[in-house]
Structure 1
Amino acid sequence: MKVIVAEHAGVCYGVERALRLAHEAAATGAAVHTLGPLIHNPQAVEELKTMGVEVADGVEDIASGTVVVRSHGVPPAVIARAEERGLRVVDATCPFVSTAQRHAADLAEHGYTVVIVGEADHPEVEGIVAHAGGEAIVVEDARSLPERLPSKRVGVVVQTTQTAQRLEDVVCALLPRTSELRVFNTICSATTKRQKAARELARTVDAMVVVGGHNSGNTTRLAEICREENPNVHHIETPEEIDPAWFDRARVVGVTAGASTPSDQIDRIVDAIERMGDA
């Protein structure tokens, strides 16, 4: 059985940067906390804990030391509270997320109704909403748009891990309802490359395995995209989740991974599948 890893898979620049900043903070010997999980990868978060990097639900739970802002970003008020408490703040917000935050803030400042294409309960989106002054409309797709918009001047930004198709659908639905429409495509290039490579690979293999946190939005979307091309798709975090029955009569298995999945986790999955093929 042959195993092929997608051309673009695994950790992106934003995640690598966040992990590096957390490791550097831990190396100082000071108490280090992240505001929520640094990235949506439970295994990586557990590894950080072994280095002394703990997860805090909020700034109020941190007495002293360093606070690392997660890659998904946080509302501006959270950073302000951390600084007021005398905490050292290390901002590990992904640069692509920071760009979405800035565009949302600028649109709100200039009087646009801000529409964010994304998941309302996702921490990245919650942070973008806060940068827009808390008044943004969040929609997962065009069908989620409200019947009435507050104004005909609308600005659009998008969660960095969304699909281009969802953004396009929302924009097309807004065009006839607006007099002025500004659109910022804030989907990160790493997401686009991973989605394209996953789709292409899923078309050519007998089974597809998607590696990454079950709580990871971008990994979940990779699985959704693969299922559009192949019915035999499985989203897992660890080798222990693999069922050999998935590969019955499979000659070629494809593997891809979300942008928060380190390469060593991908390697372990590939090794496990290859051993099954040799058995």
Structure 2
Amino acid sequence: MEIFIAEHAGYCYGVKRAVDTAIKNLEKNSAKNIYSLGPLIHNDQAVEVLKEKGLKVIKEIADIESGVVIIRSHGVGKSIYDYAEENSISLVDATCPFVKKIQKIVYKMHKSGNNIIIIGDKDHPEIIGINGWCNNSAIIGKSISDFEEIRFNKEKYVVVVQTTMNFKIYEEIKKYLEGKIEDIDFNNTICLATQKRQSSSIELSKKVDAMIVVGGKHSSNTKKLADICMVNCDTYLIETVDDLEIEKISAYNSVGIAAGASTPDFIINEVIKKLSDI
């Protein structure tokens, strides 16, 4: 069996920054409680490692007793910052810079009286956080069908996009909205790391018999990698090496490996080693 690895795989800048920030604070403030508001990143194994180092994961900022709260890579709404300021809670902001950029666009454009459209998954924490910068008033959808029932007026609309959105789907939705709304501005805020991962995974999936996509079960960008690879070859989405279906995979002559932006190197390396042993 030949094994190939996608050119771009594993931690992106924003995720690595969030993990490094957490570790730095855990080491520097060992006597304090260090919290993350929700899982720091969408990878259970990486989060478990941080918990072992002392990180406490909370669901609500009101759950904090005393200490420091790390804002996770997906970001949060403005109300969290307001609450922290009003209650003298110390925040460490590990929001991905690309997500932070979207938040600033939404906040500025909403304050200027524009309607906000977010192309993305309304249940994803990144989108929930972004919507929190326009008083939760955004129109949100991840497919054309999500927008078909909406009546758009003649006011100005500003569009932003989830950082991990499939670029092809974004282009389809953009074309649809352009035909429905007269005054609309688009901001392609899909992160460059996402585009590189998708492009390299597509390229590799065309050359191999099967693809193995490694990443957390809650990771949006990992699921999208699997979706685009499935178009070209048999694709297996796994979280850890234990999920490998060895009997099935052994039948292939060539296998490609891709990994989501929140997948740590140690998990990817375990998968590579297991395949190499076949």
Q: What TM-score, normalized by structure 1, do the two folds share? A: 0.96
Shift of 1:234: 0.7
- Alpha-carbon separation, structure 2, partners of 1:96 and 1:161: 10
Indicate the residue corresponding to 2:46 in structure 1: 44
Query: Is 2:165–2:190's contact at 8 Å kept on the other side of the alignment?
Result: yes
> Does residue 20 in structure 1 map to residue 20 in structure 2?
yes
CA distance in 2, matches of 1:216, 1:245: 26
Task: State the alpha-carbon separation in 2 of the partners of residues 151 and 109 from structure 1.
Answer: 18
Verify: 1:158 aligned to 2:169, yes or no.
Answer: no
Write the distance in 2 (CA, Å) between the matches of 1:204 and 1:176.
37
Matched residue of 2:261: which SS? coil
Q: Which residue number corresponds to residue 194 of structure 1?
A: 197
Aligned to 1:81: 83
**SS of 2:132's equivalent?**
helix
SS in structure 2 at match of 1:234: strand
Structure 1, unpaired ranges of 5+: none
**Residue pairs, 1:100-111, within 5 angstroms:** 100-111=102-113
Identity of aligned residues (%): 39
- Identify which of 221, 246, 252 aligns with 1:250: 252
Deviation sequence 1:191-238 (CA, Å, 0-9, x none): 0000000011111111110000011000000000100111x1111111
Q: Deviations over 1:140-194 (max 9, x none)?
A: 1122113302444211000000011222112211112222111101000000000
Equivalences for 1:48-87 in 2 at 5 Å? 48-87=50-89
Alpha-carbon distance between aligned partners in 2 of 1:104 and 1:202, rounded to the nearest angstrom: 36
- Matched AA of 2:26: A
Choose which of 76, 82, 90 in structure 1 pairs with 2:92: 90
1:9 is matched with 9
Provide the residue aligned with 1:238 in structure 2. Answer: 240
The 5 A counterparts of 1:200-211 are 200-211=203-214
Pick one of 174, 177, 195 that aligns with 1:174.
177
Quick one: which amino acid aligns to residue 84 of structure 1?
A: E
Amino acid at match of 1:11: Y
Distance 1:91 1:114 in 2: 24
The corresponding residue for 2:121 is 119
Question: How many residue pairs are counted as aligned between the two chains?
Answer: 275
**Within 2, Cα distance between the matches of 1:254 and 1:108?**
44
2:218 alignment counterpart: 215
Q: Which runs of 5+ in 2 are unaligned?
A: none
Q: CA RMSD in A?
A: 1.1
In structure 2, distance between residues paired with 1:95 and 1:243: 37
